[in-house]
Amino acid sequence: MRTGAGVADEALLDVRDLSVEFPTLRGTIHALQGVTFRLQRRETLGLAGETGCGKSVTALAVLRLISAPGRIRSGRIRFEGRDLLAASETEMRGIRGSQISMILQEPKMSLNPVIRVGDQVAETLLVHDRTLSRRAAREQAAAMLATLGIPDPRQIVRRYPHELSGGMAQRVMIGMMLVTRPKLLIADEPTSALDVTIQAQILELMKALTREIQTAVLLITHDLGVMAETCDRVAVMYAGRVVEQGPVVRVLKNPQHPYTQGLLKTIPNEAATDAPLFSIRGQVPSLLQPVIGCAFAPRCHQVMEACRHAAPPSYRMESDHQAACFLHRDRWPHG
Indicate the pairing of strand 184-188 with strand 100-103: parallel
- Per residue, the 3-state secondary structure of 49-78, as one string, reads CCCCCCHHHHHHHHCCCCCCCCEEEEEEEE
Band of residue 333 on the pLDDT scale cut at 50, 70, 90: confident
Range picked from 14-18, 93-97, 211-215, 289-293 for highest mean pLDDT = 14-18
pLDDT, tens digit, 9 for 90 and up, residues 146-201: 888 888 888 888 999 999 888 888 888 888 888 889 999 999 988 776 777 777 88
Q: What pLDDT shows up at residue 193?
A: 66
Q: Is the pLDDT of residue 4 over 70?
A: no
pLDDT, tens digit, 9 for 90 and up, residues 30-46: 999 999 999 999 999 99
Q: What pLDDT shows up at residue 267?
A: 82
For 204, half-sphere exposure in the C-beta direction (CA atoms, 13 angstrom radius) is 8
pLDDT, tens digit, 9 for 90 and up, residues 124-141: 889 888 888 999 998 998
Band of residue 273 on the pLDDT scale cut at 50, 70, 90: low
The structural domains of the chain, with segments of one domain joined by +, span 109-180
What is the enclosing helix (H) or strand (E) of 197?
helix 196-212
Cα distances from 242 to residues 37, 280, 308, in angstroms, run 8, 18, 18
Instruction: Catalogue the E-assigned strands of 80-183.
Output: 82-83, 100-103
Backbone phi and psi for residue 244, each to the nearest 5 degrees, phi listed first: -160, 140
Q: What pLDDT shows up at residue 183?
A: 95
Q: Closest by alpha carbon to 266, among 276, 256, 274?
A: 276
Three-class SS state of 96: strand
Region 81-99 average pLDDT: 94
At 148, the amino acid letter reads L
Cβ neighbours for 262, distance < 8 A, ≥ 6 positions apart = 278, 280, 299
Q: What pLDDT shows up at residue 102?
A: 92
Region 198-214 average pLDDT: 84
Q: What pLDDT shows up at residue 6?
A: 41
Q: What pLDDT shows up at residue 1?
A: 47
Number of Cβ within 10 Å of residue 158's Cβ equals 13
Band of residue 270 on the pLDDT scale cut at 50, 70, 90: low
| Predicted structure pTM score | 0.89
Q: Rg of the chain's alpha carbons, rounded to an integer?
A: 21
